[in-house]
Amino acid sequence: MKKLIYAIGLLCTTLYATGQSADATLTIQQNNSGLTISRHIYGHFSEHLGRCIYDGFWVDEKLPVQKKDRIRLDVVEALKKVKIPNLRWPGGCFADEYHWRDGIGPREQRPKMVNTNWGGVTEDNSFGTHEFLELCSLLNCEPYISANVGSGTVEEMSKWIEYLNFNGESPMAKIRKENGRTEPWNVHFWGVGNESWGCGGNMTSDYYSDQYKRYAAFAKNYPGAPLKKIACGPNTADYKWTETCMKNIPLNMMWGLSLHYYTVPKTWREKGSATSFTEQEYFTTMKKCLYMEELVSRHSAIMDHYDPEKKVALAVDEWGIWTDVEPGTNPGFLYQQNSLRDALVAATTLNIFNNHCDRVRLANLAQTVNVLQSLILTQKEKMLLTPTYHVFDLFKVHQDAKFLPILLNSPAYTMGNEQIPAVNASASVDSNNVIHVSLVNLDAAKTINVSAVISNLPWNNVEGQVLSSAKVTDINTFEAPNTVKITKFNGAKKNGNNLSVSLPPHSVVVLQLR
Ligand code: AHR
């Protein structure tokens, strides 16, 4: 599929060395496959980590903001606007030390625990199963629960599913009712362990795939609630892990296999600042972000070998940029600012996922509020939308739209003797026949003039929005929340049957062709 739909060519860059613009060509093809871009590619992830759940979604009763119970409603409204399709919870590494029965029943009686992964803080379990599912209902999104394999038992997982999904008379359904919830929630997305190769138990792929089959056998489908079971997949380029899982686990036992990959600007030891970086660091970050293309292609190729009909989804259920924490904040809380660079990482990654929508059918950016590449930052009653939020706002048009394959010939963005494609893109057509094209120009200095051919798809006019700012280091702050924002785009024109687009440096542009 990659060859057919997504060809990126690097043109001779010396031609552009002195100029401030370069040319790209784009062909948008018809969809002959019937493929759609699953809305679940646009999912998010919220762990009991730092200020994501506590102080992000779930706040102090006395905080002067609108709330339902203790759920912050301004955050809910903002996420509804970008049509959040699913939310993964409770972890992350936290999932494999979480015991769900500690998070149900009267809150004052819930046992406390130590969050050993994230700052060693005391977790009071006030946000548990009922609170999470209430949050999902307010967000109008699907829950995606990651269950404990590392320190839990098959029985514990199996009973959680009965508690959540069984609509009859049973021990767990009885307790659920006693806790105030009559109807089952019918949760579908079900993760069987998290990073079982690391914080989830340091397992080998052979050991994990055996464990997966055992846990999955007792993860029952109750009437009206068939589970979409997601096996723990590889860390980054661990192709052996993918191979083992695909070989050992029967296809009908898993809906998806996960993949985790983070874009780390420098090294895991010293990740690099979120707000202060050179153009060289920016370039390296984008190069690392583009590595997602290779990861998805190579893991998909292994999956194709065992699953040529592409029944099993590749679920990239943790991705995003991971930088140093903001100075003066708890290193275990992973609180980082969010710049225009992060928005370019998000848009580029989402373009990659869209173009691989035959296999990538779920993804979760880490982590929604106040942790890693957040959409939202909060400070007491204040809330701000990050540059990354605006990307999800722009790209929501692709959710469940028909995928349109593209052929893209991009000039190079050159730094020293390294090159990356300056432009990336993806396209879809929605149920009203509106064509949506998302384009990213990674070049920090050059305008890229894109000449596009839209094959056999009728359209008469073009409109667009652009997300950019003066510098790639620009951020939104509580004092200046609109430095990086969406504005109307006037750089696209119809030329006969062709489309010409003038992409400003370091920008994200989304066009609608009607
Ligand atoms: O998202 C932060 C952490 O990164 C998650 O808890 C873990 O799964 C991953 O290593």
- The reply to whether ligand 1 has any atom less than 6 angstroms from the CB of 191 is no
pLDDT recorded at residue 15: 31
- The reply to whether ligand 1 has any atom less than 6 angstroms from the CB of 97 is no
**Which residue, judged by its Cα, is nearest atom 5 of ligand 1?**
92
Atom of ligand 1 nearest to the CA of 93: 6
Cα–Cα distance, 475 to 481 (Å, whole number)? 8
Instruction: Map residue 148 onto helix, strand or coil.
Output: coil
pLDDT recorded at residue 299: 98
CB 165 within 8 A of CB 143: no
Centroid of ligand 1 to alpha carbon of 92 (angstroms): 5
**Tokens representing 373?**
């590449």
Cα–Cα distance, 440 to 447 (Å, whole number)? 11
Q: CA–CA distance from 91 to each of 111, 219, 399 (Å)?
A: 19, 19, 25
H-helix or E-strand containing 427?
strand 423-429
208 HSE (CA, 13 A, CB side): 30
Centroid of ligand 1 to alpha carbon of 91 (angstroms): 7
CB 413 within 8 A of CB 420: yes
What predicted TM-score, i.e. pTM, was given to this entire model? 0.95
Atom of ligand 1 nearest to the CA of 95: 6
Amino acid at 18: T
pLDDT recorded at residue 32: 85
Ligand 1 pocket test target in 146, 196, 258, 260 with most atoms within 8 Å of CB: 260
Centroid of ligand 1 to alpha carbon of 361 (angstroms): 20
Cα–Cα distance, 281 to 266 (Å, whole number)? 8
**Tokens representing 160?**
């959680």
Cα–Cα distance, 315 to 296 (Å, whole number)? 10
Cα–Cα distance, 414 to 442 (Å, whole number)? 11
Atom of ligand 1 nearest to the CA of 262: 4
- The reply to whether ligand 1 has any atom less than 6 angstroms from the CB of 93 is yes
Atom of ligand 1 nearest to the CA of 366: 1
**Tokens representing 220?**
């029952």
| Helix 129-139 and helix 154-165, axial crossing angle in degrees, nearest 10 | 50
Strands 189-192 and 142-147: parallel
Atom of ligand 1 nearest to the CA of 91: 6
Q: Nearest-CA neighbor of 129 among 168, 180, 78, 167?
A: 180
- The reply to whether ligand 1 has any atom less than 6 angstroms from the CB of 351 is no
**Which residue, judged by its Cα, is nearest atom 8 of ligand 1?**
92
Cα–Cα distance, 498 to 486 (Å, whole number)? 25
Can you tell me which residue has the tokens 């990959």? 261
Atom of ligand 1 nearest to the CA of 94: 6
pLDDT recorded at residue 496: 85
Please give the positions annotated as active site.
195, 318
Instruction: Map residue 163 onto helix, strand or coil.
Output: helix
Each residue's pLDDT expressed in tens, for the chain with a length of 514 residues: 444 443 443 433 333 333 489 999 999 999 888 899 999 999 999 999 999 999 999 999 999 999 999 999 999 999 999 999 999 999 999 999 999 999 999 999 999 999 999 999 999 999 999 999 999 999 999 999 999 999 999 999 999 999 999 999 999 999 999 999 999 999 999 999 999 999 999 999 999 999 999 999 999 999 999 999 999 999 999 999 999 999 999 999 999 999 999 999 999 999 999 999 999 999 999 999 999 999 999 999 999 999 999 999 999 999 999 999 999 999 999 999 999 999 999 999 999 999 999 999 999 999 999 999 999 999 999 999 999 999 999 999 999 999 999 999 999 999 999 999 999 999 999 999 999 999 999 999 999 999 999 988 889 999 999 999 999 999 999 999 999 999 999 999 998 889 999 999 999 999 999 9
- The reply to whether ligand 1 has any atom less than 6 angstroms from the CB of 366 is yes
Ligand 1 pocket test target in 48, 118, 318 with most atoms within 8 Å of CB: 318
Alpha helices in 53-186 (DSSP H): 73-81, 129-139, 154-165, 171-178
Q: Any idea of the CA torsion for 456, 459, 462, 466, to the nearest 10 degrees?
A: -50
**Which residue, judged by its Cα, is nearest atom 3 of ligand 1?**
92
- The reply to whether ligand 1 has any atom less than 6 angstroms from the CB of 318 is yes
Ligand 1 pocket test target in 199, 369, 371 with most atoms within 8 Å of CB: 199
CB 232 within 8 A of CB 192: yes
pLDDT recorded at residue 14: 32
- The reply to whether ligand 1 has any atom less than 6 angstroms from the CB of 47 is yes
- The reply to whether ligand 1 has any atom less than 6 angstroms from the CB of 91 is yes
CB 173 within 8 A of CB 164: no
CB 401 within 8 A of CB 39: no
